[in-house]
Structure 1
Amino acid sequence: MARLFMALSLCVVMLSACGKKAEETHEAAKTEEAAKPAEAGITKEALAANYNLEKGKEVYEATCQMCHNTGISNAPVVGTKDAWTERTKQGMETMIKKSIEGYQGESGQMPAKGGNAELTDEQVGNAVAYMVEASI
């Protein structure tokens, strides 16, 4: 009888732990999914507060749209959320740095300052913010 009681008690403890673990996993997945674009502070509100999106649009139209409207060299097309999801996980600082310095990835490349060496770092940052804001 004592063994049966111990076995039942052990089963109750194990089932309880499994239920809590499943609940925690589900909650973590929901939180992770909700935070994808915002995990590095990237929200439309944060972009508008920290960057000049109007100036970014001007730079985008003059320099960036050639690749980011068509996907040349696997550039993420502006307005295509899926194309920007992995990139936004890096955070704005990393995306801007790669855009300023240039970047050669496995599936594409980003020329330094979009190929326009006359752009300032601030102009590049504004352009990146404009593209991200239009894509999240």
Structure 2
Amino acid sequence: MIRLFLLLSTLALLTTACSREEQPAPQPTPTSPAAQEAPAAAPIAPGPIVTNDPEALSDMGARYYRRGCAQCHDEGVGGAPRLGDVEAWRPRLDKGLHKLVENAINGFQGESGLMPARGGNPQMRAEAVSMAVRFMAEVSRAEDEESAEDEWDEEDLGDEEGEER
């Protein structure tokens, strides 16, 4: 008896539910949020660098340095030249900023130790490595030496053909 009651109740429920006419979705009115146009998106500059201000670029380089390079270059771990040590940096700076950036991106085995590619962080973008190297070069250059700004160009921001900036 209970089975018959459950079967009839289920059939009645299904019949009622399926026989209803669906109501059309309400159309947006001119005052509803869906009817209003979205504001135009602001144009986005290509790549993450949004400034060519030398001070802002130096600040970015300092941040990248603290995030990755400082762990070796603050203490001279593994033969890394210490930040600000003019004598340790001089032979490296004599090779040019572009060569320093290239070695930092690709890695380098020198007489004093090993520079792992991208400071041992494969996720670090070439652009970030370049800014950190420039920061270290500026801090570690003798005051009477020529600034690295003269050597800095867009080649130093990428390491591979087609890499986005």
* TM-score, scaled to structure 1: 0.62
More helix as a share of residues: 1
> In the TM superposition, what is the alpha-carbon distance from 1:105 to its structure 2 partner?
1.1
Q: How many pairs align?
A: 89
- Kindly indicate whether residue 110 of structure 2 is the aligned counterpart of residue 105 of structure 1: yes
Q: Please list every run of 5 or more consecutive structure 2 residues that lacks an aligned counterpart in the other structure.
A: 1-52, 142-165
1:28 maps to what in 2? Answer: none
Q: Verify the 8 A CA contact 2:61 2:131 in the aligned structure 1.
A: yes
Query: How far off its partner does 1:60 sit?
Result: 0.5
Question: Is 2:94 the partner of 1:96?
Answer: no
What's the CA shift for 1:53? 1.3
Q: Which protein has the larger Cα radius of gyration, Structure 1 or Structure 2? A: 2
* Percent pairwise identity: 38
Give a deviation string over 1:73-95, Cα, whole Å, max 9, x none: 11000011111000000001100
TM-score (norm 2): 0.51
Whether the 8 Å contact between 2:80 and 2:112 is mirrored in structure 1 is no
Q: Residue 96 of structure 1: CA displacement?
A: 0.2
Residue 80 (structure 1) aligns with: 85
For the aligned residue pairs, the C-alpha RMSD in angstroms reads 1.7
| Counterpart in the other structure of 2:3 | none
Distance 1:62 1:105 in 2: 24
Shift of 1:108: 0.4
Letter in 2 for 1:79: G
Instruction: Specify the code of the residue in structure 2 equivalent to 1:88.
Output: L
1:71 aligns with 2:76: yes
Q: Which runs of 4+ in 1 moved over 2 A?
A: none
Partner in structure 2 of residue 52 of structure 1: 57
CA distance in 1, matches of 2:93, 2:112: 17
Q: Note the residue ranges of structure 1 that are not aligned, 5 or more in a row.
A: 1-47
